[in-house]
Structure 1
């Protein structure tokens, strides 16, 4: 009988974790499985069969409840019950969770079902939300209350923001009770850093297997016609290009890029992708902003042309932008933040402490003083050897088979 995989995520083939779920689905289908993805919002066409959880109205009601009463993940009960009816009818062999936060699921209902389903459950942790009483990230404020018991949350107004109540103490207990109720749960942190913190949390006694995110090296690869890309986005030729890319620049070091600009001379230009129009209009001379590239090929062209990819993130688990830049042959300079440093080694990138702009400036000048070809082959080979999606997603398939004892 054909095996069935069901993945549950906020998106389907959209955004980094949505594309990861899509890639995993493609791998299991190549082995003869059926692949299904249940998603909350934001979907692109998918090779897997899709199920849409809830509605826009449900999402809005969940959002209001979350913002007023710190009830994130405790709304959407009707939508979750309908999802569980679908799961029962589908009867998948493996249930694989990704981001279950995002105003679309009721996690007590979901985990009550999973605790009785007698099926292997895999949960890829893309952030820290599963073991905190509120936040998805805590490194920016250097909070470690999650190690003992969350309360008096210093990030009450950060995602998932609560404007009135702080129920982090209650939420911590509810998560702990729900998530520890599933006997055959396997947790998959996407970086060694996240694995380390996970093993200090209330989930430490669960089965844990670290697997890195992967990228498609057939898509992200060095481009040759890069001058056309530079012309298209009005980037001046003859200068050293320092590239930064983010889908959301919240705590991604935008102000640090501006400080760096003040330390560099006019031989350098900083190009930032993913900025909104307000920020683009406020940029100083020597910093160019791009709202978004028209397609992945253009993004690869920018990665390929850049002398260095700068990731000055202040809060991250395992950013795929580092991998994309390396796959296009470009070295990375990153802050010592979370799992961001795990993408590089001594031949493919350099590390600076958060906020040490002078060190970043020195590293930029050093990298730009060397020929780009020194880095191109080793950068790409590092991704092929360690972060190729075909290899990483096969790890999930092998894990599924081990869990099913096939």
Structure 2
């Protein structure tokens, strides 16, 4: 079976990492998988880059400009929306024609247009689409933020100026998507059961198959290593306990940095002695302006792309904290657990599916900084740490290993191919 996975980027972002890991998992389990991307950054014979044309180069900028205009030239929400009004027609590529099945992943920011998606669906090839967020099942947003418009018909979008109106941009894009999806069979896969429940409520996906399969991780790469050695390599305190926070962009409000700062303050207020034996490490860009707000000594590790260095960061930590306000199935939690590091997060999205409360980590009540602080304190000072670490490793090997995830996807592929053949 030859599978072509479509993703905007090869390495940038959580969806790109997940798509890459799935490609490798499939190739290691008997499927010939390749990945088609617009932004290729690393030499890999299984990754194909789109032809570098003027249209390919400017598609992302043109889409942003169109959204910028609709936002009345405000940058607020500029990178939270995608309208897929431009993109590349990949159906003309040799790699597309040679594939037995097309697997769509994260295809936004000028990679594929809605019209391009429709041409893929009308090509006669079976299509599987992994949802890394809500965009395939909504209009222009990636996360609903409590809005239920996608369940019926988008419009009056709260992300648009003035709260939008009945025939605003979200309604226009919703109609375009509905026209593209209606009458075409797609096998949707969500990375978490939480997102699967949302997808099944979408009016756009009515009648479509929705399956939940987690992202895979290579447990031969992400694994426990010598903690002291990792700290020495990173220049982190060797004797202190380390609380780790990771985000590609630390200032991203959705990742909960404000709640993290408040929880750390509450933790120190209860236990002032922690200033002497607890250190915070932050991995990600744009953290400089936040370090002074934290009540504990903080080491800024910046943005790191080298996988060996990232693994060192996880192994240096005693607890990983990700207080996301809305998230699917964060790769960072999976990576930390694969290195034997217990995690603490809010009870939102797919996080409770990953962290088993008081078994391999701590699940705090949503937006409750007191409970978040309690979770960190419990992991660091009260729980049987060795047992937490063992349980985290077992959870990853049991649920997120390459073989486990590849097997589930291969079953979805065969079902999609069978359905397509029957419909001909």
TM-score range, shorter chain: 0.7 to 0.9
Deviations 1:149-183 (A, max 9, x none): 221211237xxxx9xx9411111122122123313
Report SS of the residue matched to 1:246.
strand
Q: CA deviation at 1:221?
A: 0.6
In structure 1, stretches of 5+ residues that fail to align are none
- Report whether the alignment pairs 1:75 with 2:85: yes
Q: Which residue of 2 aligns with 1:332?
A: 343
Deviations 1:201-251 (A, max 9, x none): 111420111111111111111111x22332343432332211111113312
Counterpart Cα distance in 2 of 1:23 and 1:234 = 29
Q: CA deviation at 1:186?
A: 0.3
More off after superposition, 50-59 vs 63-72: 63-72
Q: Which residue of 2 aligns with 1:244?
A: 245
Deviations 1:106-155 (A, max 9, x none): 112321x234222210000000011222211123xx22222222212112
More off after superposition, 126-135 vs 275-284: 275-284
- Report whether the alignment pairs 1:367 with 2:389: no
Check 1:205–1:290 CA distance in 2 against 1; reply closer, same or farther (3 A cut).
same
Q: Which residue of 1 aligns with 2:208?
A: 206
Counterpart Cα distance in 1 of 2:111 and 2:209 = 26
Check 1:132–1:304 CA distance in 2 against 1; reply closer, same or farther (3 A cut).
same
Deviations 1:253-278 (A, max 9, x none): 11122112212231322222113254
Q: Give yes or no for contact 2:83–2:140 (8 Å, CA) kept in 1.
A: no
Report SS of the residue matched to 1:393.
helix
Counterpart Cα distance in 2 of 1:193 and 1:89 = 32
Report SS of the residue matched to 1:279.
coil
Report SS of the residue matched to 2:373.
helix
Q: Which residue of 2 aligns with 1:85?
A: 92
Of 143, 150, 175, which aligns to 1:137? 143
Q: Which residue of 1 aligns with 2:78?
A: none
Report SS of the residue matched to 2:248.
coil
Q: Which residue of 2 aligns with 1:399?
A: 412
Deviations 1:6-28 (A, max 9, x none): 11111124433223333333344
Of 297, 307, 317, which aligns to 2:328? 317
Counterpart Cα distance in 2 of 1:204 and 1:47 = 38
Counterpart Cα distance in 1 of 2:95 and 2:303 = 41
What does 1:6-405 align with in structure 2 at a 5 Å threshold? Answer: 6-30=4-28, 33-52=31-50, 54-69=55-70, 72-76=82-86, 80-81=88-89, 83-86=90-93, 90-111=97-118, 113-139=119-145, 142-156=146-160, 166-183=168-185, 185-202=186-203, 203-224=205-226, 226-249=227-250, 250=252, 251-263=254-266, 264=268, 265=272, 266=275, 267-276=277-286, 278-279=288-289, 282-284=292-294, 285-293=296-304, 295-346=306-357, 347-369=359-381, 370-405=383-418
More off after superposition, 246-255 vs 368-377: 368-377
Q: Give yes or no for contact 1:187–1:208 (8 Å, CA) kept in 2.
A: yes
TM-score where L is the length of structure 2: 0.84
Counterpart Cα distance in 1 of 2:261 and 2:35 = 41
Deviations 1:275-297 (A, max 9, x none): 32543664545233221346323
Counterpart Cα distance in 2 of 1:402 and 1:211 = 15
Q: Give yes or no for contact 2:187–2:412 (8 Å, CA) kept in 1.
A: no
How many residue pairs were aligned?
A: 390
Check 1:31–1:379 CA distance in 2 against 1; reply closer, same or farther (3 A cut).
closer
Report SS of the residue matched to 1:55.
helix
Q: Which residue of 1 aligns with 2:74?
A: none
Report SS of the residue matched to 1:392.
helix
Q: CA deviation at 1:66?
A: 2.9
Q: Give yes or no for contact 2:137–2:202 (8 Å, CA) kept in 1.
A: yes
Counterpart Cα distance in 2 of 1:240 and 1:28 = 38
In structure 2, stretches of 5+ residues that fail to align are 72-80
Check 1:89–1:308 CA distance in 2 against 1; reply closer, same or farther (3 A cut).
closer
Note the aligned Cα RMSD (angstroms): 2.6
Counterpart Cα distance in 2 of 1:289 and 1:371 = 29
